[in-house]
Amino acid sequence: MSITLPTVRILNLSVHNVNMESALSAIDSFIQAGGAHHVVTADASMFVMANEDPVLHSIVSKADLITPDGVGILWAARRQHTPLQERVSGVDIVEKLCARSADCGYRIFFLGAGPGVAAKAAERMRERYPGAMIVGVRDGYFAESETNSILEMIRLSEADVVCVAMGIPRQEKWIEANRERLEVPIFIGVGGTLDVLSGNIKRAPRWMQKMALEWLWRVLNNPRKITKVLLLPRFVTLVRRAQ
């Protein structure tokens, strides 16, 4: 199923010009339609990687919904005078889908992050949203030989949404390689979302989120994130060269 939403082109890739409400409405439509849909939450690091990785570029290009998840994407859109409505992050999408699960009966599967993290995230979401149907969990530490058994776990769960938290670009490539093998309406790559929802990593204070400084908070709390943040200057350079 295709959707008609306005898009903005950044570095030869499209981003849907959505707010949280319209993004969730599109996801609702995908679930009702069935089939297999790929939702991408795009930040600057992804666009830098896609600029250098033709496989990732192709995957993002044909995704069914691409939301602007990062200050860099919003900055690039403003710079070229095609501003996006707001940031629509993977963390917020997943949490709101958990809330919707309780009301709409959506069945959600958490795949990825370290041992025990997905299970802890599921437990916290069930506590926060009574009735939320988190129907399966599996950490992201598995060998390629285990893929078929994991796909069978997802199939048996009858999930409507599979949240894949393996980091860019592994999660996007895993989704592309496996989504047609399952009858799941929504696959969404969500990076470090399960670490946040589990409580292992605290979300930035609201004032930092409003000032687009959540990236700084993540680096301060997890210095390993600096590798991803260092892609931002490259993103800025690429955007300036493209104009």
Domain containing 40 equals 7-203
Report how many domains make up the chain: 1
112 touches 118 (CB < 8 A): yes
Instruction: Report, as an integer, the average pLDDT of 171-194.
Output: 96
Percent of the chain beyond pLDDT 90? 80
195 touches 119 (CB < 8 A): no
Residue 85 lies in a domain: yes
Residue 228 lies in a domain: no
Residue 235 lies in a domain: no
Residue 184 lies in a domain: yes
Type of residue numbered 37: H
> Among candidates 82, 124, 114, 113, which has minimal Cα distance to 243?
82
Determine if the pTM surpasses 0.85: yes
Type of residue numbered 198: S
Measured CA to CA, the distance from residue 76 to residue 152 in angstroms comes to 41
- In the predicted structure, residue 71 carries a pLDDT above the cut 80: yes
Average pLDDT, the chain: 91
Q: Look up residue 128 and give its two tokens.
A: 């926060």
- In the predicted structure, residue 23 carries a pLDDT above the cut 80: yes
Percent of the chain beyond pLDDT 70? 88
Instruction: Report, as an integer, the average pLDDT of 36-40.
Output: 97
Q: How confident is the model at residue 6 (pLDDT cuts 50, 70, 90)?
A: very high
pLDDT given for residue 30 in this prediction = 96
